[in-house]
Amino acid sequence: MTFADIDNMMVLHGPVLARLTDEEFFDLCQHNPLLRMERNAEHEIIAMPHAGSESSRKSSEVTFQLMLWNRQHQLGYVFESSVGFTLPDGSVRSPDASWVPKAAYDALTEEQRLRFAPVCPPFVVEVRSPSDGLAPLRRKMETYLSNGVEVGFLLDPTNETATIYRSGQEPEEITSFDTTLSAEPALPGFELDLRPLRRA
């Protein structure tokens, strides 16, 4: 068993945390910028290790490709890993890359946009770091789907494998990074080129 095979995230429990409002949780995150925090539907706080440089580079490549597609089609907005979205189940999640259509984001108030916006992206990507346990990432992808995500990619650059999650379908495993992944139907025409994410 390797370090990445276990749930190495720190989960904070307690009645005080469960009573935190959305605004209070947002303020907690702002006052502790060195911690990467999310919150699950039970209002438990999840603190995750920071990504290494190589993982950050590969996440940036995913965001870059998504931004290029979005610049061409101008259908919505692209977000990177520091974002937080308040999902319908009350959890606050931070995908490594995500996309929200213009209509959904423009419908939010200014105050909502300045905090963890109450919107579920139709498309999300998680890039596994060497320190990330695979089981919690798979659970996170299922959480996304149950909250309204249409398509999600779970990428594992170390093993050069990917899993495509589509609403109402079984996950599809991809065992090569010498290919592209289609984000249909959530993002018409977008294909993520995995080749830049291959091991050096």
Q: Is residue 168 part of a domain?
A: yes
Q: Is residue 169 part of a domain?
A: yes
Q: Is residue 18 part of a domain?
A: no
In this prediction, residue 47 has a pLDDT band, given cuts at 50, 70 and 90, of confident
Give the helix ranges, DSSP H, for the chain.
Answer: 15-18, 22-31, 53-73, 102-106, 110-114, 134-146
Mean of all residue pLDDT scores within the chain: 90
Please give the pLDDT value at position 19: 84
Nearest to 86 by CA among 163, 29, 16, 169: 29
Model confidence pLDDT, tens digit, residues 83-117: 999 999 999 999 999 999 999 999 999 999 999 99
Tokens 């959305």, residue located: 22
Residues forming a β-bridge with 46: 11, 38
Model confidence pLDDT, tens digit, residues 157-170: 999 999 999 999 99
**In terms of residue numbers, what domain contains 60?**
52-197
Sheet strands (E) in the chain: 10-12, 36-39, 45-48, 76-80, 85-86, 92-93, 97-101, 123-127, 151-156, 161-166, 172-174, 180-182, 191-193
Q: Is residue 30 part of a domain?
A: no
In this prediction, residue 3 has a pLDDT band, given cuts at 50, 70 and 90, of very low
Question: Does position 9 have pLDDT exceeding 70, yes or no?
Answer: no
Query: Which residues, including other chains, have CB under 8 Å from residue 189's CB and lie 6 or more apart?
Result: 69, 73
Please give the pLDDT value at position 199: 77
Instruction: Give the torsion sign (CA, 2, 5, 132, 166).
Output: positive
Amino acid present at 117: A
Q: Is residue 15 part of a domain?
A: no
Count of the separate structural domains present in the chain: 1
Question: Does position 52 have pLDDT exceeding 80, yes or no?
Answer: no
Please give the pLDDT value at position 60: 95
**Residue 153, domain CATH:** 3.90.1570.10
Please give the pLDDT value at position 56: 85
Q: Is residue 36 part of a domain?
A: no
Q: Is residue 14 part of a domain?
A: no
Question: Does position 1 have pLDDT exceeding 70, yes or no?
Answer: no
**CA pair distance 33, 178, nearest whole angstrom:** 37
Average pLDDT over residues 137-145: 95
